[in-house]
């Protein structure tokens, strides 16, 4: 393997972020809404008295948007909902007599209340609202609370508000950052606590999710966006460069990489990126991401390319080779897989139906992304008849005795022999 472009590793302020977030969480727990309003003044530069977005605010936001944008939002809502419904049908309940007299079963129960965080930042991310809310509502979550940072006017961006409303949000609040995560986890006067928090965010939001995990469930700890493209000599360098820059424009810390088996393709992509950056309106962010974190690997073979991918474990994996579909099963570590040159990651980011809240920083080695199952609890139950006791109890009594757990032994034995202890 040869590296045609290497990332420029950056130092971080992990300890400072942890301490800052811990302080924010503690203050929200102690002061509730007062802390949220103080942080709105400090971080967002706005004075907001009413944190809860009202129905009139939603209707006003809808009236401000072009009809075509509302139609686009509705289209993506339908696509995301349809895919989530298809996923939900794969999760089934059952009851089975495993051995005579022993009936075991599985139930699938929705989480009662979920918090969906929708980031603000550089761009109004309509799709982030949809990805966090729609699968939860398809799962059957009865209450989805949305927290999102306000604009400089103190209002939620109308397109974000429309996307959240049309996706099925039950409550929407004008609050963002680590303080929003604290409010969702512990509750304030205005915002009731939830059972699970989902949605992407910046380093402070992610760290807050890490710190409140245990008090509530979380979906995953997603970092800056990632894409890794695998390409052979037949790939289109214009496609590849545009795919890398599409993710690079998300964040200056986005990680983008190309693994190719063809030197000419790799060099062509490097040149094409420079050309596209000249006319890209978001070039300031994309350039910083590319210069700091961009990588290009020249693999000796397709097998080595696949090995690099599985070790990298990218959030988005785009395979642009002539045999992309035939080799898909050889890739085992990724958040979401895109097969063929036409299968742009941005279609899934926005409208095709799969979820874009995905594992980053190699977490794809042990987890997938958000899906309808994120909001469901798969729980078990047992019903044991006397004939089942006759089979189970002897094994249970002996094992409990060996372990020294005499209370366990008695609980099993009384149902078998009618006596507490073995005689």
CB atoms within 10 A of CB 415: 15
Confidence of residue 15 (pLDDT cuts 50, 70, 90): confident
Confidence of residue 10 (pLDDT cuts 50, 70, 90): low
Q: Does position 394 have pLDDT exceeding 60, yes or no?
A: yes
Question: What backbone phi and psi angles, to 5 degrees, belong to 94?
Answer: -155, 160
Taking the C-alpha atoms of residue 111 and residue 195, their distance in angstroms, rounded to an integer, is 7
Q: What is the mean pLDDT of residues 188-212?
A: 97
Active-site annotation holder among 171, 207, 272, 315 = 315
Q: Which residue has the higher pLDDT, 15 or 186?
A: 186
Q: What is the reported pLDDT for 120?
A: 83
pTM (global) more than 0.85: yes
Percent of the chain with pLDDT over 90: 94
Q: What is the reported pLDDT for 368?
A: 97
Q: Does position 124 have pLDDT exceeding 80, yes or no?
A: no
Least confident of 215-219, 221-225, 271-275, 356-360: 221-225
pLDDT digits 0-9 by tens, 318-374: 999 999 999 999 999 999 999 999 999 999 999 999 999 999 999 999 999 999 999
Q: What is the reported pLDDT for 5?
A: 78
Confidence of residue 8 (pLDDT cuts 50, 70, 90): confident
- Say which DSSP state 195 is in: S
Which domains does the chain carry? 14-218 (3.40.50.1980), 224-368 (3.40.50.1980)
Q: Which has the closest alpha carbon to 415: 397, 403, 398, 399? A: 397
Taking each continuous run of H as one helix and of E as one strand, the counts in the chain are 15, 14
Can you give the three-state secondary structure of 255-295, one letter per residue?
Answer: EEEEEECCHHHHHHHHHHHHHHHCCCCCHHHHHHHHHHHCE
Q: Which has the closest alpha carbon to 238: 268, 282, 261, 262? A: 268
Strand pairing partners for 196? Answer: 114, 217
- Alpha-carbon distance values, 101 to 247, 290, 385 (Å): 56, 63, 5
Q: What is the reported pLDDT for 126?
A: 86
Confidence of residue 122 (pLDDT cuts 50, 70, 90): low
Question: What backbone phi and psi angles, to 5 degrees, belong to 62?
Answer: -60, -35
Q: Does position 111 have pLDDT exceeding 70, yes or no?
A: yes
Taking the C-alpha atoms of residue 365 and residue 310, their distance in angstroms, rounded to an integer, is 8
Q: Does position 212 have pLDDT exceeding 80, yes or no?
A: yes
Confidence of residue 1 (pLDDT cuts 50, 70, 90): confident
Taking the C-alpha atoms of residue 35 and residue 241, their distance in angstroms, rounded to an integer, is 44
Taking the C-alpha atoms of residue 292 and residue 104, their distance in angstroms, rounded to an integer, is 54
pLDDT digits 0-9 by tens, 376-386: 999 999 999 99
pLDDT digits 0-9 by tens, 44-70: 999 999 999 999 999 999 999 999 999
- Alpha-carbon distance values, 421 to 373, 385, 399 (Å): 44, 21, 14
Percent of the chain with pLDDT over 70: 98
Q: Does position 123 have pLDDT exceeding 90, yes or no?
A: no
Active-site annotation holder among 316, 318, 387, 395 = 316
Query: What is the H or E stretch that residue 227 is in?
Result: strand 226-231
Q: What is the reported pLDDT for 9?
A: 62
Active site residue 303: no
pLDDT digits 0-9 by tens, 126-143: 899 999 999 999 999 999
Q: What is the mean pLDDT of residues 293-312?
A: 97
Confidence of residue 36 (pLDDT cuts 50, 70, 90): very high
Q: What is the reported pLDDT for 248?
A: 97
CA angle 321, 334, 131 (to 5 degrees): 110
Q: Give me the DSSP letters along 39-85.
A: HIIIII----S--BPPHHHHHHHHHHS-HHHHHHHHHHHHHHHHHHH
Taking the C-alpha atoms of residue 278 and residue 316, their distance in angstroms, rounded to an integer, is 25
Hey, is 182 helix, strand or coil? helix
Active site residue 315: yes
Q: Which has the closest alpha carbon to 261: 293, 306, 228? A: 306
- Say which DSSP state 213 is in: B
Our measurement of the distance from residue 255's CA atom to the centroid of its chain's CA atoms, rounded to an integer in Å, reads 17
Can you give the three-state secondary structure of 398-418, one letter per residue?
Answer: HHHHHHCCHHHHHHHHHHHCC
Q: Which has the closest alpha carbon to 311: 295, 323, 325, 292? A: 295
Distance, first Cα to last Cα, the chain = 70
């Amino acid at each position: 393997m040869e590296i045609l472009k290497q990332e420029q590793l950056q130092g971080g302020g992990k300890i400072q972020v942890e301490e800052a977030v811990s302080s924010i969480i503690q203050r929200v727990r102690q002061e509730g809404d007062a802390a949220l309003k103080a942080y709105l003044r400090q971080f967002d530069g706005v004075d907001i008295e009413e944190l809860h977005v009202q129905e009139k605010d939603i209707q006003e936001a809808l009236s401000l948007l072009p009809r075509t944008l509302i139609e686009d939002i509705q289209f993506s809502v339908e696509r995301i909902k349809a895919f989530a419904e298809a996923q939900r049908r794969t999760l089934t309940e059952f009851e089975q007599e495993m051995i005579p007299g022993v009936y075991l079963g599985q139930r699938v129960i929705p989480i009662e209340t979920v918090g969906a965080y929708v980031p603000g930042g550089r761009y109004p991310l309509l799709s982030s609202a949809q990805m966090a809310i729609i699968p939860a509502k398809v799962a059957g979550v009865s209450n989805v609370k949305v927290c999102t940072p306000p604009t400089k006017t103190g209002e939620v961006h109308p397109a974000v508000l429309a996307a959240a409303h049309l996706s099925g949000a039950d409550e929407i609040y004008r609050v963002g950052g680590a303080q929003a995560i604290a409010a969702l986890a512990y509750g304030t006067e205005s915002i009731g606590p939830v059972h699970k928090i989902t949605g992407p965010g910046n380093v402070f939001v992610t760290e807050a999710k890490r710190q409140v995990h245990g008090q509530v469930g979380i979906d995953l700890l997603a970092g800056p966006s990632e894409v890794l493209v695998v390409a052979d000599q037949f790939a289109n360098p214009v496609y590849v460069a545009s795919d890398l820059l599409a993710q690079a424009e998300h964040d200056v810390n986005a990680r983008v990489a190309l693994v190719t088996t063809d030197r000419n393709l790799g060099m062509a992509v490097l040149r094409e990126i420079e050309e596209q950056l000249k006319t890209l309106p978001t070039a300031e962010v994309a350039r910083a991401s590319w210069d700091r974190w961009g990588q290009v690997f020249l693999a000796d073979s397709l097998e080595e390319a696949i090995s690099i991918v599985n070790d990298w474990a990218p959030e988005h994996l785009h395979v642009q080779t002539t045999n992309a579909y035939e080799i898909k099963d050889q890739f085992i570590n990724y958040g979401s897989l895109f097969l063929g040159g036409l299968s742009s990651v941005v279609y899934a980011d926005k409208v095709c139906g799969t979820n874009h809240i995905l594992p980053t920083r190699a977490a794809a080695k042990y987890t997938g992304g958000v899906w309808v199952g994120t909001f469901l609890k798969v729980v078990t139950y047992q019903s044991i008849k006397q004939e089942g006791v006759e089979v189970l109890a002897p094994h249970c009594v002996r094992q409990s005795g060996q372990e020294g757990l005499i209370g366990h032994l008695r609980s099993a034995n009384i149902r078998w022999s009618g006596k507490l202890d073995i005689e």
